[in-house]
Amino acid sequence: MPPPAGVRPAVNLAAQSLTIPTQAGPTPAAPTPADPTPADPAMAGQIDPAAPVLMFDSGVGGLTVLDALRQALPECPVIYAADLAGLPYGEKSEAQIAARVSGLLGRMTERFKPRLVCIACNTASTIALASVREVLEVPIVGTVPAIKPAAAMTRSGTIGLLGTAATIRQTYVDRLEAEFASDKILLRYGAGELVSAAEAKLRGHKVDMAVVERAVDGLRRQPGGEAMDTVVLACTHFPLLTEELAQVLGPDVRFIDGAAGIARRIASLTQGQGFARAQPDVALFTGDADTGDLAPALGQRGLASAARF
């Protein structure tokens, strides 16, 4: 079956013909901007069991969120969408990110009729989440820096936060700090280089430890940095580099990210819904970058085929 208009076959990861999910079916009512609530139980039975969760990121960092979702809802159909043509988001303006994310998710939602959209990207979530919720009539789950649990974890009272430059400057992060860590020291550092390092690692390339060391130095050289004992990984790419970061930071520093919390939220919003895969889960990529070396990482996460969008 040929793919729908707007989708170009890229690489088949499971030696089988590529098919793109196009399940139709009613969508739940639009969530409120502040906190989407679970669908009405009466509506749960009307959701097409084959309707996927659409998981969106600027690149492959969102696969760390997919890992958590596989643990929570192993039977849930998934379309993983990576905007490689727009990578890196952290170097773009807020207006560029909001317009790009809203446009792409609007087209993808119309095409694939997901039961829920997960923006598995801190930068896109802190900038575009509100605008996306205004235009899409499906539940939207975003990704925010895990400042609240980090404040509960820290023993020294000093927390590091690694994110993209676009994420760490957002007033949303200021509000999280004021609400949950006002009595702590929060050190922020824009470590955009780690995005490329994580993308390279997932493609099977060796991580440049100098990049990791620069990110750590960016935190530790700030006043109070030596007392830091907890680091918030405020980019979904960064958990892919936990091993390398731990080598530099040492055994006394703990890491936290939002993946498990996101998976729990998706499970809550889809409670009572049926799940049934009509066909293998698929990865979508924008742009023309070669994604062949991502095949092992995608296959390990149940994404049996890939296509261009």
Active centre residues (catalytic): 121, 235
Which helix (H) or strand (E) segment is 255 a member of? strand 254-256
Spatial contact of 269 and 38, defined as CB atoms under 8 Å apart: yes
- Structure-token match 């690489």, residue found: 11
**If you count them, how many residues does the chain have?**
309
Do residues 91 and 66 lie in contact, with contact meaning Cβ atoms separated by under 8 Å? no
Distance of CA 88 to the CA centre of its chain: 13
91: helix, coil or strand?
helix
Quickly list DSSP for 151-204: HHH-SSSEEEEEE-HHHHT-HHHHHHHHHH-TTSEEEEEE-THHHHHHHHHHTT
Cβ 198 vs Cβ 240: under 8 Å: yes
